[in-house]
Structure 1
Amino acid sequence: MATPVDSMRGKQLLVQIGDGADPEVFTADCLINTDRGLRLTSDTTSETISYCDEPDSPAWTEIDKNGLTATITGSGKLHTTSVEDWFDWFTGNDAKNCRVLLNGVSAGKGGGHWQGAFKLTEWEITGPEREKVTSSVTLVSHGPVTWVPAV
């Protein structure tokens, strides 16, 4: 029996960060080792347009998209050898090229990756006394993000 939806495991959603070289090499940093996500949002303006021939009827609201944003989130156990690089990224104003890869999914099933420049806007490190230290990051797009289908 076939499942109604093609699916994949969370570990196949992979955040990769470019090294800035030419050609650029993208790798997954071990600091994002548990949870990861991508949220695509749009800034909108709404306006309600009344119907001239039916002024007493409820009018529909029309939406215009003004801007698009992609936000990458990631978390996991703190990978200490990455701390200096992440801190430099956070304290600087540079964007880094990133990919969110649908790893292991073929092109015929919707595989590929989103790619664009991102700035590190939030970084949290927490550690309960008797547990491992964890870290979470938020990366926000700086310019366009594109979808690149798997080949």
Structure 2
Amino acid sequence: MARPETIKFGKFFVRLSDGESPPAFTAPCGFTSKSFSRNKTLAEVEVPDCDDPDAAAWSERDVQSMSATISGSGVLAKAAMPTWEGALESTDSIEAEVEFVYADGTSDYYTGRFHIESLEITGSLGERVQVSITMQSDGEIAYERTDGS
């Protein structure tokens, strides 16, 4: 069996645009946990067997919409707060990119616009203050693989 190529946490990047043209993307500091998910909303219809109406119907599904979510949590980093607050306060979505970098230099990129849906700050006695961010896509998400050369 061939061993699969995997990546470490430090090669999973979530970066936000500075809003300039062309945009510069930077990763706000502090995340110790990150996630990226892509989703489909499906419409379901039951299709009967016309030759045997008593037979179980089969479900057929059509894609209604697609979306993506970026979330992360970790320590509250002073330098990152203006970025998070600016994106949260804006009524416009911001450009963001997610990148996975493999050992051979190949990268998988996902880019699109996102709204900051939630920013939660928590603290407990004897621990560092924590932050949790959730971002929801606003429109199409593009995927690209670069070959690393």
Normalised to the residue count of structure 2, the TM-score between the two structures is: 0.90
The question of 1:27 aligning with 2:23 is answered: no
Counterpart code for 2:145: P
Kept after mapping to 2: 8 A contact 1:105/1:112? no
Q: For residues 39-78 of structure 1, what are the structure 2 equivalents within 5 Å? A: 39-78=37-76
SS in 1 for 2:141: strand
1:25-63 CA-to-partner distances (Å, cap 9, x unmatched) read 1111103x2111111111111000001012221111011
Displacement, 1:107? 7.1
SS in 1 for 2:80: helix
Q: For residues 43-122 of structure 1, what are the structure 2 equivalents within 5 Å? A: 43-106=41-104, 111-122=107-118
Kept after mapping to 2: 8 A contact 1:13/1:37? no
Counterpart code for 2:26: T
RMSD of equivalent CA atoms: 1.7
Structure 2: segments with no counterpart, 5+ residues: none
State the percentage of identical aligned residues.
28
Separation (CA, whole Å) in 1 of partners of 2:81 and 2:144: 30
Separation (CA, whole Å) in 2 of partners of 1:98 and 1:23: 13
SS in 2 for 1:90: helix
SS in 2 for 1:143: coil
Q: CA distance change for structure 1 residues 46 and 141 in 2, over 3 Å: closer, same or farther?
A: same
SS in 1 for 2:118: strand
Separation (CA, whole Å) in 1 of partners of 2:100 and 2:137: 18
Question: How many residues were matched structurally?
Answer: 147
Displacement, 1:106? 4.5
Counterpart of 2:133? 137
Structure 1: segments with no counterpart, 5+ residues: none
1:63-115 CA-to-partner distances (Å, cap 9, x unmatched) read 1111111000111111112223312221221211111100235476xx32100
Q: CA distance change for structure 1 residues 107 and 56 in 2, over 3 Å: closer, same or farther?
A: farther
Normalised to the residue count of structure 1, the TM-score between the two structures is: 0.89
Counterpart of 1:15? 14
